[in-house]
Structure 1
Amino acid sequence: MTVEDSIDLSHAPVSDSPTESLLVFQITGNPGLIEYYRTFLTLCFDSLRAKYPDRRIKVAGTSLRGFGVQHHERHQSLSHDSNPEGPYDLEQQIEHIGQMLERAIESQTRPNATIKVVLIGHSVGSYILLEVLRRRKQSPSTQQLSNDAKVIGGICLFPTVTHIAKSPSGKKFSLFFAIPYFAVIAGLVVRLMFSWVPFTPLQRLVGLVTGFPSPAAETTTAFLKSPGGVRQALSLAGHEMRTITADAWDDELWGVSQAQDSSDNKTKLFFYFGTNDHWVADETRDELIAARAATGTPGDEKKPTMEIDTYGTPHGFCIKHNDLVAKKVEQYIDELMR
């Protein structure tokens, strides 16, 4: 296996006639390496290809900025800011994902064919997902997404969208982030520790210590040996603590506002929370569900569907629990396509 900075799984029907396209675009958590999700996205792709053989299917995703391990220069070339070397904050990651999503849509564009888009966000990727949607709705004339594409759904997995600092891990890490230059120092220490260790022995050590299967151990090793990956992850986490606080989105995005009734760009949201998720406090999760979730009563069908996992699936599901979550995503996409 080779650790890549993007994933692109595509299926085209035998017929060349205009056909509806479905694009599923994954937004990663932190650390933002898309390779962690290859098994999960492959399972999703295989399911979609079997269910919709007459549709053009694309399942794609890209690493967040600053996590590049194969094509670092390519990620830098996309930068239009004054800090091309990173680390990149949450705002810059949102802009980057908007750009990458547009590129994925452009690759699916065909004459006289419509494109349905489903976004999947994991952890902080769910926050990025909601921000991409918010900016599209607020500025339709300057939206990054093509007018030929309609985002029909957003699936937020183990989402950290409010008050991340109140979570068990958030409380612990907040103490470290109070230390001046913590991300810089920690990143330097990791580089000094692992830069001289050959890749294969380090991968074996990572697998032994963490219990990760081989693909996840390889991706983690690439992350540890990347020039600035650890610093980027810690810098972004610190920015998440300061930025992800109260619910930042309006009623229209949440499907509450009646203004959506006249829109052709309705987006149905799904939230799949963990039980005892160390990055999501139970009380903030329950408050969000009480305030925003659909209850099953007539008239609130456009509100988000919010569920709590009952299988003990961990926050980092993409390491060992891909099958279960892929089946849940399959259910959500089935509902969206209906």
Structure 2
Amino acid sequence: MSIEYIESENVQRTRVYHKNPLTNNSENDFLILIPGNPGLINYYITYLNYIQEKVPKFEILCIEYLGFLAQNVKKDSKGNQIIYSVDDQINHKFEIIKKIINDRYSISSNKSNIFLLSHSLGGFITERVILKLLQDDSLSNKFNIKFNGMITPTVNNIAQSESGTALTKLINWNVPFVGIAMSLSLILNYIPTSVLKYILTNNWKPPKEIISKNHHNIGLEHSLEATIQFISSPSSLNQCLNMAKDEMKVINDSDLVNDEIFNNKNFFTWCFFAQNDHWVTHNTRNHLISKYSTSVNTKLEICENLNYPIKHAFVLNQSKEFADITVDRMKPFVE
């Protein structure tokens, strides 16, 4: 693995998954992925590696969220964990990508070609990062956005989704679910890792007919590592669940930002929806497809595979399958 850290005057020390291009990259092509919540980069390693195998000139970067894992947890003057909001994460990703663009420009004086991928909440964040990048005069003529790929994005009315509705009820009923989850996390630390791996592996098994076609849960080890790190860390659960509460407020039914992104003619936007998604209702999905499917430089699609449909949490055991789909949609814009 190529886990590194990015840090500067404007950027808090942040874990990133970084891979240099496998071939010459004179065009400065960057593939940058912004995760969903929880924003742990380990989930996306296998997926990104497969993409780079098909497009070897990509320089790969996956940026972790603030507030996850011990090295990224801060406390206030009273010793309480600082919780980062969705808006904090937007500013954080903007500053990191701005640093990447400026650093590369200082070396080569050439524009960077930015290919963006985002997952779930990452789509909402990426839309706003794009606008901040385009509005920053100091970045003028330093970069081009070539491709904006949003995977099972939660960019509209998340509170009406199946999971959003359940979470909203817990919030309204004042159920202390964050504290309960943190307490359970402490208990999990007493369960052997081998037992947790066994439970998770069996829970993520593909259907029998898929296993018979030589599907072997490719990349499962990275997913297991990330999940065990996450569920065994009270601070990670604290950040994740409190940020999820914030999502219920900020990801509303407004399409002001969606209008700007989906109708932008200067880069291509691809939006991929699962057939059934507990974070995206059919009504929300159909609303976005109906509203933006005729926009120039835009493609919105629903997973067509009925036998083994791509799920919202594709990173758990469908990384290879979805990498093939991603490369197919992205490749016309690489050259």
What interval of TM-score do these two structures reach, taking the shorter chain for normalisation? 0.7 to 0.9
Kept in 1: contact 2:273–2:301 (CA 8 A): yes
Q: Distance in 2 between matches of 1:95 and 1:313?
A: 30
Bigger mean CA offset, 84-93 vs 237-246 = 84-93
Query: Residue 297 of structure 1 corresponds to which residue in structure 2?
Result: none
Kept in 2: contact 1:183–1:235 (CA 8 A): no
Give, in angstroms, the shift of residue 203 of structure 1. 3.6
Kept in 1: contact 2:114–2:147 (CA 8 A): yes
Give, in angstroms, the shift of residue 195 of structure 1. 3.2
Kept in 1: contact 2:2–2:19 (CA 8 A): no
> C-alpha deviations, 1:277-299, integer Å up to 9, x for none?
111100111111111123xxxxx
Amino acid corresponding to residue 146 of structure 2 in structure 1: I
Query: Residue 34 of structure 2 corresponds to which residue in structure 1?
Result: 27
Matched, 1:141 2:137: yes
Give, in angstroms, the shift of residue 252 of structure 1. 4.0
Q: Give the gaps of 5 or more residues in structure 2.
A: 5-14, 206-216
Query: Residue 92 of structure 2 corresponds to which residue in structure 1?
Result: 96
Give, in angstroms, the shift of residue 112 of structure 1. 3.8
Q: Distance in 2 between matches of 1:63 and 1:84?
A: 22
Kept in 1: contact 2:37–2:121 (CA 8 A): yes
Q: Distance in 1 between matches of 2:231 and 2:103?
A: 32
Query: Residue 228 of structure 1 corresponds to which residue in structure 2?
Result: 235
Give, in angstroms, the shift of residue 115 of structure 1. 1.3
Amino acid corresponding to residue 89 of structure 1 in structure 2: S
Q: Distance in 1 between matches of 2:103 and 2:190?
A: 40
Query: Residue 19 of structure 2 corresponds to which residue in structure 1?
Result: 9
> C-alpha deviations, 1:47-88, integer Å up to 9, x for none?
111xx4xxxx3111121111135x336xx59x9xx9994221
Kept in 1: contact 2:50–2:323 (CA 8 A): yes
Kept in 1: contact 2:274–2:303 (CA 8 A): yes
Kept in 2: contact 1:115–1:150 (CA 8 A): yes
Query: Residue 301 of structure 1 corresponds to which residue in structure 2?
Result: 296
Query: Residue 114 of structure 2 corresponds to which residue in structure 1?
Result: 117
Amino acid corresponding to residue 95 of structure 2 in structure 1: Q
Query: Residue 278 of structure 2 corresponds to which residue in structure 1?
Result: 278
Give, in angstroms, the shift of residue 3 of structure 1. 8.3
Kept in 1: contact 2:161–2:278 (CA 8 A): yes
Query: Residue 207 of structure 1 corresponds to which residue in structure 2?
Result: 201
Query: Residue 263 of structure 1 corresponds to which residue in structure 2?
Result: none
Normalised by the size of structure 1, how large is the TM-score? 0.81
Q: 1:227 to 1:185 in 2, by over 3 A?
A: closer
Amino acid corresponding to residue 263 of structure 2 in structure 1: G
Q: Distance in 2 between matches of 1:64 and 1:331?
A: 28
Give, in angstroms, the shift of residue 107 of structure 1. 5.0
Give, in angstroms, the shift of residue 135 of structure 1. 2.4
Kept in 2: contact 1:60–1:104 (CA 8 A): no
Q: Distance in 1 between matches of 2:145 and 2:153?
A: 19
Q: Distance in 2 between matches of 1:84 and 1:20?
A: 45
Structure 2 counterpart SS, 1:333: helix
Q: Distance in 1 between matches of 2:37 and 2:21?
A: 29
Kept in 2: contact 1:183–1:231 (CA 8 A): no
Matched, 1:319 2:316: yes
Q: Distance in 2 between matches of 1:47 and 1:128?
A: 27
Identity %: 23
1:49-198 equivalent positions in 2, closer than 5 A: 49=56, 52=57, 57-69=58-70, 71-72=71-72, 76=74, 85-109=81-105, 110-137=107-134, 139-141=135-137, 147-180=141-174, 182-198=176-192
Q: Distance in 2 between matches of 1:2 and 1:106?
A: 22
1:40-55 equivalent positions in 2, closer than 5 A: 40-49=47-56, 52=57
Give, in angstroms, the shift of residue 147 of structure 1. 4.2
> C-alpha deviations, 1:241-271, integer Å up to 9, x for none?
1111122316443226xxx5xxxxx222110
Give, in angstroms, the shift of residue 181 of structure 1. 6.6
Query: Residue 211 of structure 2 corresponds to which residue in structure 1?
Result: none
Query: Residue 239 of structure 1 corresponds to which residue in structure 2?
Result: 246
RMSD across aligned C-alpha pairs, in angstroms? 2.9
Bigger mean CA offset, 189-198 vs 152-161 = 189-198
Q: Distance in 2 between matches of 1:87 and 1:187?
A: 16
Normalised by the size of structure 2, how large is the TM-score? 0.81
Kept in 2: contact 1:206–1:221 (CA 8 A): no
Q: 1:83 to 1:317 in 2, by over 3 A?
A: farther
Structure 2 counterpart SS, 1:228: helix
Give, in angstroms, the shift of residue 228 of structure 1. 0.7
Q: 1:335 to 1:84 in 2, by over 3 A?
A: farther
Q: 1:146 to 1:36 in 2, by over 3 A?
A: farther
Amino acid corresponding to residue 9 of structure 1 in structure 2: K
Q: 1:245 to 1:123 in 2, by over 3 A?
A: same
Q: Distance in 1 between matches of 2:182 and 2:109?
A: 52
Q: Distance in 2 between matches of 1:282 and 1:229?
A: 30
Q: 1:179 to 1:203 in 2, by over 3 A?
A: farther
